[in-house]
Structure 1
Amino acid sequence: MRYVTFLYLYVMQGVPAGFALTAMANYFTGKGLSSQSVGSFVAIVGIPWVLQFFWGPIIDRYQYSVIGHRKQWIVLTQLMALIASLGLLYINNPIGELTTVSAAFFIHSIFASVQDASVDALAISIVPENERGRVNAFMRGGFLAGIALGSAGLSLVLYHYGFHAAVLSQSALLFILTTFTFFTKLDPADRYLPNFRQRTSDKTNVKENPKLGWLFRQLFSGLMKKDNFNTFIVIATVYTCNGVFIRSFSFYLIHNLKWQYNDVSVLQGGWCTIATIAITVIGGIIADKLVPTILQLRVMIGIGLFLIILGLSHNLWLFKPYSGTGLILWNLADPMFSVAAMPILMSLCIQKVEGSQFTAYMALVNLCDVVGAYLSGWMMAITPAPTIGLICGVAVLFLGVWGYVRRKRELSIKPF
C-alpha cells in the first residue's frame, strides 16, 4: 500500500510539471517565441521549487495535526494547487499574455512545491532504509506517469481543443486526486476524518514539534558537513547538465528541425515515459541490492558517453527516427540517475531533521533544473544544441570517471 500511495501522490505532482514545463514550453517554441523567452518561462515556473529549502523546516516544525502526521500540509497544498489551476482559466491568449501566464504558473508552483516538500518529508520519515530504492522508483515512476499525462495527454488537448480545455482537464484530475488524498491514510496513525478531540499521545506529539531555530541550525550543519557537501556538488552538477541539454535538444528539434511541438511533447510524455517507468522500477530494485554510489557512477559514465556520442553524430539528427530514439534514450537515462542518487541523498540526512534536509536537497536539485533551463536559453543564442550536448557529456563523463577512480583508490573495490 505504501508503494501505491507514493505512486499516486507523485502522479499528482507530475501532471502540472508536465503541462507547464513540457507541453506549454514546447507550445511556446512552436508558436515562434525565442529560446530566451521559453527558457525564462521555464525558470520562472521552477523558482518556487527552489524555495522548498525554506518550506522543509516549517513543515517539520508543524508535523502533527488533527488529521495526522504531515497530512495537513499535503491536503491543504493540493487544494490550493487546484484553485490556482482553475485560475489559469482567466487567461485567454497565452502567447500574448506570456507575463501573466508565467505569473499564474508561478503561483501554482508555490503550492505544488510545498506539497512536494511535504511528501518528501513523509517518505523519508516512514520508509525503511532497505526499501528506499524501490520506494524512490515508485515515486519517480509516479512522477513520470504524471508528466506523461501532463505533457503528452494535455499537449494533445491543447493542440486540438485549446488552452482552456487543457486547463480544465488538468483541474479535473487534480480534484479527483485531492479527494482521494483526503480519505487516504498516508501514515498508519492517520485518520480518515479530522479528530479535534486529541488523545494524550497526539497532544504529546504536538508538544514535541521541534523549534524552528533549532531545525534551521541542524539543517545547515547537515548540509555543510564536508562529505555531504562534496557528494551533493557532484549530483547537482549532473542535474544541471541534464537540464541544460534536454531544454536545448527539445528547442532544436522544434525550432531548427521543424518538428511539430505536439510531436515532441507526445514523444517525451508518451512512448518515452512507458519505457522509462519500467526501467525506473527495475532500477529501484537494483538500487536496493547494489551499493548506491556504484550504481550512480555507472549511470553517470553512461550518460556522459551517450551525450558525447549524440553530440558528435549531430548530422544524423536530421533523420527523425534517429533523433527520436535519442530523445527516448535520454528519458531513460535521467530517471535512472535519480533512482541511483535519491537513496544516497537520503543516507546523508541526519536524524530529527531528515525531512527538512532531504527537502532541501530536492530544492537544490530543482534549482539545478531551473538554472539549466535558464542557461540553455542563453547558450543556444551563441552555440548550437549539439555543442551544448557535447560539453555536458564531457563534464558528466569526467565526474563519473573521477568519482570511480577515487572510490576505487579509497576503498580498493574491484572494477565493474
Structure 2
Amino acid sequence: MTSLTESKSARISTLCALYFAQGFPWGFMTTALVAYLAKQGLTVEDTGHLIAMAILPWTFKLIWAPLIDSFNFPAMGRRRPWIIFAEIMMAVTLIAMAMSGDITSNLTFLGWMFFLHNCFASLQDVCTDALAVDILHPDERGQINGYMWGSKIIGVGFGSSIMGTILVKTSLNTTVLFQAGLVLAVMIFPLFFRERAGEKLLPWLKGKSMLPGDFVTVRNPLTVIKDLLKGFSIKATFIGAIFLLIASIGDGINGAILPVLFMQDLGWEPDSYSQIVGGLGTILEFIGALLGGFLADKVGRRKIIAIGYGGFAMTAILFGIFSAYWEFTYFSSAYLIISPFFRALGAVAIFSLFMKISWTKSAATMFTSYMAMSNMSSTTGSKLAGTLNNYVSNDIAFIVVGILAAIPLVLLLGINADEHPFQENP
C-alpha cells in the first residue's frame, strides 16, 4: 500500500479525514448541544463556560507539541502512533459520555466531559498538524491547508446540522454514540497509510524506521523548548505570537453570545439554528476555506488574513448597528451564513503563514504552539462573553466583537515571512 510521503492523494485524504473527525464533535458540542440547552434557559455566562471548557484543552497544544516531538515509536512513523492513540481515546470519551445517562441538566459534569474529549481531540490536532509539516511539500501547503480546514468545516457543519437534528429527534446518548462510531471509522486512514514506505503498519507486523539515521526515539524536552525559544527570538515570529493571542478574542465572544441570542431573544428553535449554521453557513464557510487556501498562495497570506478578519469585523459591526432588523429571519440568518465565510478565509491563510514562519528542528512544535495561542485567544473571548453581557446590550456586544477582530490586523505589518530564511524542512 502506498505511503503518505509517496502519494499526494493519500496525504490529502488522510489529513482531511483527520480534520473532519475533529470537526463534527466540535460542531455538535459548541453549536447543536449548546443551542439545545440555551432553549432550556442556558445563560450567556453558562454558554461561555461550556464553550471555554471545550476550547481550553486546545491550549494544551503547548504541552502536547514538545511531548510528541520528544517521545516516538519511529518504526511505525513519527506521528502515526500518537494519532491512532488520540483517535481511540476520542472515541472512548464519547462512549463514556453516552453511557453517563442524562447529563444535560448537570452543567458541571457536562463541561468536564467537553474538557476530557477535547484533551484528546487537541492531541490529535497537534499530531495531524505536525504530520502536515513533516510530509507536505512547500508548494502544496496553501492548497492542502485549504482542503484540511474545509474538511473540518464540513465536520463542524455535520455535527451542527445532522447531529443537532438527531439530538432533537432522538436523545443525547444516541447522538453521541453515533459520533463515536464515526471517529472509529476515520481511524481507518492512519491505520492503513504508512508515513513512509518500509515502516511497520502495526507494532507486530514487519517494518522498520525510515527516518534519518540521526533521529532519536526519545529527545530531551529541554532541547525542544530551547529550539522553541530560538524560533520565537525573531521579530516576525514574536509579533506573530502576539497577533494570535489577541486575534480570536472577538470570535470567542461571538460564539458564546449567538446561541442564547437566537434561542431566547429571537425565539428560534435549536434544530433550525443548527441547520442554518451547519447547512448554508457551512457551505459558505467551506468555500471561504478553499478560496483562502488558493488566494494565500496566489495573492499573499497577509493580504488574505486582512481581508478575512477585516470582513468578519465589518460584518459583526454592521450586525450590531442594524439590531432593529434582527427579528427578520433573513437578516439574522445572513449573519450566521456570511460571518463564517470571512473567518474561514482568514483562518486558512493564517495556517499557511504560520506554517511558513515555523522553523528550527522543532518546526512542527512551533506551529502547534502558534495554534495553541489562537485557541487561548478564543477561550479568553468565551470567558469574557458573560461579563460583557452584564455591562452592555447585545447590539453593542457585536460592535465590540468587530472592533476586537480588527485591531490586531495592524500587527500583520510586522509578520514578514521573507525577512528571514525560514527553513522549509528543518
Instruction: Give me the TM-score of the superposition, normalised by structure 1.
Output: 0.91
Which residue of structure 1 lines up, in the alignment, with residue 166 of structure 2? Answer: 157
Answering whether residue 144 of structure 2 is matched by residue 135 of structure 1, we say yes
Q: What is the identity, as a one-letter code, of the residue corresponding to 1:386? A: D
CA contact (8 A) 2:27 2:159 kept: yes
Q: Give the conservation status (yes or no) of the 8 Å contact 2:29–2:114.
A: yes
Higher helix share: 1
Q: Does 1:372 align with 2:401?
A: no
1:61-80 aligned within 5 A: 61-80=70-89
Question: Are 1:286 and 2:295 an aligned pair?
Answer: yes
Q: Partners in 1 of 2:155 and 2:195 — Cα distance?
A: 19
Supply the distance in 1 between the matched residues of 2:163 and 2:198 (Cα, whole angstroms).
Answer: 36
Identify if the C-alpha distance between structure 1 residues 351 and 146 changes in structure 2 by more than 3 Å, giving closer, same or farther: same
Retained in 1: the 8 A contact 2:304–2:349? yes
Range with greater deviation from structure 2 (292-301 or 8-17): 292-301
Letter in 2 for 1:340: A
Partner in structure 2 of residue 259 of structure 1: 268
Q: Report the alpha carbon displacement of residue 394 of structure 1 after superposing the two structures with TM.
A: 2.5
Aligned mates of 1:405, 1:172 — CA distance in 2: 45
Q: Indicate whether 1:362 and 2:371 are aligned.
A: yes
For residues 273 and 225 of structure 2, the distance between their equivalents in structure 1, rounded to whole angstroms, comes to 42
Describe the superposition over 1:334-389 as per-residue Cα deviations: whole angstroms up to 9, x where unpaired: 11110111111112211310111111111111111111111112211222222111
RMSD: 2.3
Aligned position for 1:275: 284
Match of 2:193 in 1: 184
CA pair 387-209 structure 1, distance change in 2 beyond 3 A: same
The SS at the match of 1:207 is coil
Question: Aligned partner of 1:23: which letter?
Answer: A
**Is 2:316–2:401's contact at 8 Å kept on the other side of the alignment?**
yes
Aligned residue type for 2:340: N
Query: More displaced, 74-83 or 42-51?
Result: 42-51
Question: In structure 2, what is the Cα distance between the partners aligned to 1:119 and 1:187?
Answer: 15
- Residue 3 of structure 2 corresponds to which residue in structure 1? none
CA displacement at 1:204 relative to structure 2: 3.6
**Which consecutive residues of structure 2, in runs of 5 or more, have no partner in the other structure?**
1-8, 420-426
Q: CA 1:150–1:387 in structure 2 vs 1: closer, same or farther (change >3 Å)?
A: same
Please say if 1:299 is aligned against 2:308. Answer: yes
- Cα drift, residue 62 of structure 1: 2.3
CA distance in 2, matches of 1:403, 1:336: 18
In structure 1, the gaps of 5 or more residues are 412-416
**Which residue, 123, 140, 145 being the options, matches 1:114?**
123
CA distance in 1, matches of 2:412, 2:92: 47
Q: 2: distance between equivalents of 1:404 and 1:58?
A: 30
Q: Which amino acid aligns with 1:313?
A: F
| Identity score, percent | 25
Partner residue of 2:23? 14
Summarize the alignment of residues 307-318 of structure 1 with structure 2, pairs less than 5 Å apart: 307-318=316-327
Contact 2:316–2:399 (CA<8 Å) still a contact in 1?
Answer: yes
- Tell me the number of residue pairs that the alignment of Structure 1 and Structure 2 aligns: 408
Supply the distance in 2 between the matched residues of 1:100 and 1:208 (Cα, whole angstroms): 38
In structure 1, how many angstroms separate the alpha carbons of the residues matched to 2:125 and 2:198?
21
Preserved CA contact (<8 Å) 2:77 2:209: no
The Cα of 1:209 is off from its aligned counterpart by 5.0
* 2:336 is the alignment partner of 1:336: no
CA distance in structure 1 between the aligned counterparts of 2:99 and 2:64, rounded to whole angstroms: 29
Superposed displacement of residue 403, structure 1: 5.2
More displaced 10-residue stretch of structure 1: 317-326 or 41-50: 41-50
Deviation at 1:279, TM superposition (A): 2.7
Aligned residues of 1:11 and 1:143 also touching (Cα < 8 A): yes
Q: Secondary structure of 1:51's partner?
A: helix
Deviation at 1:395, TM superposition (A): 3.4
Structure 1 residue aligned with 2:66: 57
Name 2:422's counterpart in structure 1.
Answer: none
Aligned-partner SS, 1:318: coil
Structure 1 residues 206 and 30, CA, compared in 2 at 3 Å: closer, same or farther?
Answer: same
Confirm or deny that 1:175 pairs with 2:184: yes
Matched, 1:231 2:240: yes
Please tell me the residue identity of whatever aligns with 2:300. Answer: V
Contact residue 39 and residue 377 of structure 1 kept, 8 A? yes
Is contact 2:129–2:368 with CA below 8 Å preserved after alignment? yes
Partner Cα distance (1:105, 1:406) in 2: 36
Contact 2:296 2:349 in 1 (8 A): yes
Residue 106 of structure 1: how far off its partner (Å): 1.5
1:255-275 deviations in Å (ceiling 9; x for gaps): 211111221112111121122
Distance apart, 1:117 and its partner CA:
0.6
Aligned 8 A contact 1:23 1:262 in 2: yes
Aligned residue identity for 2:378? D
* Change in CA separation of 1:321 and 1:203 when aligned onto 2, cut-off 3 Å: closer
Alignment of 1:214 onto 2:223: yes
Looking at structure 1, the residues matched to 324 and 198 of structure 2 have their Cα atoms a distance apart, in angstroms, of: 58
